[in-house]
Amino acid sequence: MLISHVSSCYIMATESEINAENDFRARYVIELKKMTDKQLDDERKSVNQQGMRTPGRRGENIKHEEISRDAVRRHVLKEKAKHV
């Protein structure tokens, strides 16, 4: 069970909620890896816009985190390719 602090109250996530979040992340990562750099930039813009319309939604937070991770992963791969 995961306990997180949000606005002075504690929320307890059930194991099924944690599993659902992990499944969502895994599916989203697969989709991100299929995208070109331009598509990834467009996805980031879309997620940021949605985040402004509905702030605090967990799905948008997860998407933002995973987009950032994928951007770093791509950068590292490009840097490794330059040095080979």
pLDDT digits (tens, 9 = 90+) for 39-77: 999 999 999 999 889 888 889 999 999 999 999 999 999
1 neighbors 15 (Cβ within 8 angstroms): yes
Helix (H) or strand (E) holding 12: strand 9-13
Give residue 10's pLDDT: 55
Helix (H) or strand (E) holding 59: helix 58-82
Buried b (16+ CB within 10 A) or exposed e, 33-59: eeeeeeebeebbeebeeebeeeeeeee
pTM of the model: 0.78
Q: What is the pLDDT of residue 60?
A: 92
Q: pLDDT category, 13, cuts 50, 70, 90?
A: confident
Instruction: Specify the pLDDT at position 21.
Output: 93
Q: What is the pLDDT of residue 28?
A: 97
- Sorted by where each begins, the domain ranges of the chain are 21-82
Token pair listed for 70:
């994928």
